[in-house]
């Protein structure tokens, strides 16, 4: 084999692509019920955009970005996530001048140079949403409701929702100082990454997956004990809105998320089948980011679903949908082959998935192929049928045969498939 795909970068093949289309369509349907419209942003952005939003001392920026210089020597990065680009577009196109709230959804590939493993890829896909212009805690709850509705509608169960608040610029510094104090005492127990960066970005240590770090942070002070009155009120109102919407959740005071732009609400959705470390979806509030990027003060909140993780879960429990031809022609002789060729074209224009074997194969092998691809209807046509202006219609499921005249063919097939669904 001369060329293979890059490690951590996957082809998605049929029939799995049908599952992707189903999930994407369900996302579009559900999100539009909640007033979201699609936004498409580029894969390439100036590197600075991600450094400033995700944070200089995060894993993503420190070691996972696909960054390169273009021919003009500008540093560009292939987006590792979608939020930063949507915020950039929101400001660039003055979308704040439209009546609030502005609600967007997007779907597409993201790129992170992570160690490839189950549920962790270098090119992966997210379906995400962002809401601008609302700071009401009910919005956060509504978003989680929408996420749960979407995940349940595609067929996922065993979901758990974890929520937290990581405060704001007035209460987080106090917590940060206390956390640094705590970490400082046990700094030699931390991994080398955490030892290096705990004083700049101590919240990252809480998120570290290295067992010794995990053990040490177990007794660390928790952010919820340090929230200011406004953040506390917001978190309480958010939780009561979740209850009103009938969403079961758990408060996880240790969940800080791996991106620096968050303020107040953060959340993750996991499925028992994936293991707790692998969230299917995650998100939170980022009330300062629009302003930090030069826009007007604009509260915002969003989430993103990891599509590969979601599809992996669905693959385990749902039968993969597939799309075989509805009608396969089997032709006997050259003249019949011509007739079939034109009829395939006609049926396709009538909205029926029709096909024939163009290899000039024997009747036996044409029949075998029709059976293998799973066509529910086979139409057989030979010299005799042409003369009499009929087709031999074979209902493959019922193993029944009958003759249909050429004139009634299209109407008959349409009725047949309408009846069969």
| Residue ranges in contact with ligand HAM by CB under 6 A | 81-83, 112, 114, 119-121, 124, 126, 128, 130, 258, 279-284, 302-304, 306, 308-309
Q: Which is nearer to ligand HAM, 128 or 325 (CB)?
A: 128
Contact 58, 201 (CB under 8 A): yes
Matching residue, tokens 């498409």: 40
Q: How far is the CB of 281 from ligand HAM (least distance, A)?
A: 5
Q: Contact, 255 vs 164, CB < 8 A?
A: yes
Strands 263-271 and 279-285, how do they pair?
antiparallel
Longest dimension (CA), the chain: 94
Question: Is there a contact between 50 and 65 (Cβ–Cβ < 8 Å)?
Answer: yes
Collapsing DSSP to helix, strand or coil, 377 comes out as: strand
Q: How many degrees, rounded to 5, is the angle at CA 205 between CA 259 and CA 203?
A: 50
Pick the closer one to ligand HAM by CB: 145 or 308: 308
How far apart are the C-alpha atoms of 202 and 144, rounded to whole Å?
Answer: 27
Q: Looking at beta carbons only, is 54 or 413 nearer to ligand HAM?
A: 54
Residue 285 beta carbon to ligand HAM: minimum distance, rounded to whole angstroms = 8
From the number of C-beta atoms within 10 Å of its C-beta (0-12, 13-18, 19+), residue 372 rates as exposed
- Alpha-carbon radius of gyration of the chain: 28
We find the least distance from the C-beta atom of residue 129 to ligand HAM, in angstroms, to be 7
Angle 20-108-45 from CA coordinates, rounded to 5°? 170
**In the complex, residue closest to ligand HAM by CB:** 306
Residue 16 C-beta: closest distance to ligand HAM, Å: 15
Return the number of the residue (307 or 327) whose C-beta is nearest ligand HAM.
307
Question: Strands 66-69 and 390-395: what pairing?
Answer: unpaired
| Nearer of residues 137 and 284 to ligand HAM, judged by Cβ | 284
- Kindly state the smallest distance separating residue 292's Cβ from ligand HAM, in Å: 15
Of 121 and 344, nearer to ligand HAM (C-beta) is 121
**DSSP symbols for 139-171:** HHHHHHHHHHHHHHHHT--SEEEEEEE---TTT
Query: Long-range contacts made by residues 391-394, C-beta under 8 angstroms, separation at least 24?
Result: none
Q: Which residues pair with 37 in a beta bridge?
A: 104
Report CA dihedral (368, 369, 372, 376) to the nearest 10 degrees. -100
Record the tokens describing residue 284, joined without a space: 């939170």
Residue placing its CB nearer to ligand HAM in the complex, 112 or 197? 112
Nearer to ligand HAM, 239 or 263 (CB): 263
Compute the least distance from the CB of residue 116 to ligand HAM, in Å: 8
Q: Of 130 and 142, which CB lies nearer to ligand HAM in the complex structure? A: 130
Rounded least distance, CB 283 to ligand HAM, Å: 4
Of the pair 124, 393, the CB lying nearest ligand HAM is at 124
Q: How far is the CB of 401 from ligand HAM (least distance, A)?
A: 50
Report the distance separating Cα 243 and Cα 354, nearest Å: 51
Question: Cβ contacts of residue 2 below 8 Å, gap of 6+?
Answer: none
User: Are 369 and 361 in contact, with CB atoms under 8 Å apart?
Assistant: yes
């Amino acid at each position: 084999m001369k060329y293979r795909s890059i490690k951590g970068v996957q082809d998605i093949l049929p029939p799995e692509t049908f599952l992707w289309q189903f999930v994407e369509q369900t996302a579009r349907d559900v999100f539009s019920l909640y007033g979201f419209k699609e936004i498409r942003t580029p894969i390439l952005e100036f590197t600075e955009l991600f450094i400033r939003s995700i944070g200089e001392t995060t894993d993503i920026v420190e070691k996972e970005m696909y960054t390169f210089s273009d021919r003009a020597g500008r540093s560009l990065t292939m987006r590792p996530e979608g939020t930063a680009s949507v915020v950039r577009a929101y400001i660039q196109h003055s979308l704040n001048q439209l009546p609030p709230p502005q609600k967007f959804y997007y779907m597409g590939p993201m790129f992170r140079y992570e160690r490839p493993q189950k549920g962790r890829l270098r090119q992966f896909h997210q379906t995400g949403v962002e809401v601008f212009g609302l700071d009401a805690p009910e919005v956060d709850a509504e978003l989680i409701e929408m996420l749960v509705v979407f995940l349940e509608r595609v067929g996922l169960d065993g979901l758990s929702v974890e929520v937290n608040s990581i405060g704001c610029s007035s209460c987080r510094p106090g917590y940060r100082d206390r956390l640094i104090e705590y970490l400082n005492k046990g700094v030699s127990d931390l991994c080398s990454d955490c030892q290096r960066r705990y004083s700049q970005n101590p919240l990252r240590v809480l998120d570290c997956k290295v067992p010794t770090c995990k053990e040490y942070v177990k007794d660390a002070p928790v952010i919820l004990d340090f929230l200011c009155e406004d953040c506390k009120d917001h978190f309480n109102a958010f939780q009561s809105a979740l209850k009103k919407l009938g969403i079961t959740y758990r408060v996880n005071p240790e969940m800080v998320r791996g991106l620096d732009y968050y303020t107040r609400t953060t959340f993750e959705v996991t499925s028992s089948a994936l293991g707790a470390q692998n969230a299917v979806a995650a998100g939170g509030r980022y009330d300062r980011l629009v302003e930090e990027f030069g826009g007007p003060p604009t509260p915002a909140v969003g989430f993103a679903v990891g599509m590969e993780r979601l599809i992996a879960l669905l693959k385990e429990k749902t039968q993969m949908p597939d799309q075989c031809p509805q009608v396969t022609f089997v032709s006997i002789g050259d003249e019949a082959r011509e007739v079939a060729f034109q009829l395939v074209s006609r049926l396709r224009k009538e909205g029926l998935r029709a096909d024939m074997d163009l290899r000039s194969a024997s009747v036996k092998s044409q029949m075998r192929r029709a059976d293998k691809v799973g066509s529910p209807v086979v139409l057989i046509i030979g010299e005799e049928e042409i003369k009499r202006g009929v087709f031999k219609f074979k209902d493959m499921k019922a193993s029944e045969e009958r003759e249909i005249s050429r004139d009634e063919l299209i109407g008959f097939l349409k009725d047949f498939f309408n009846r069969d669904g």
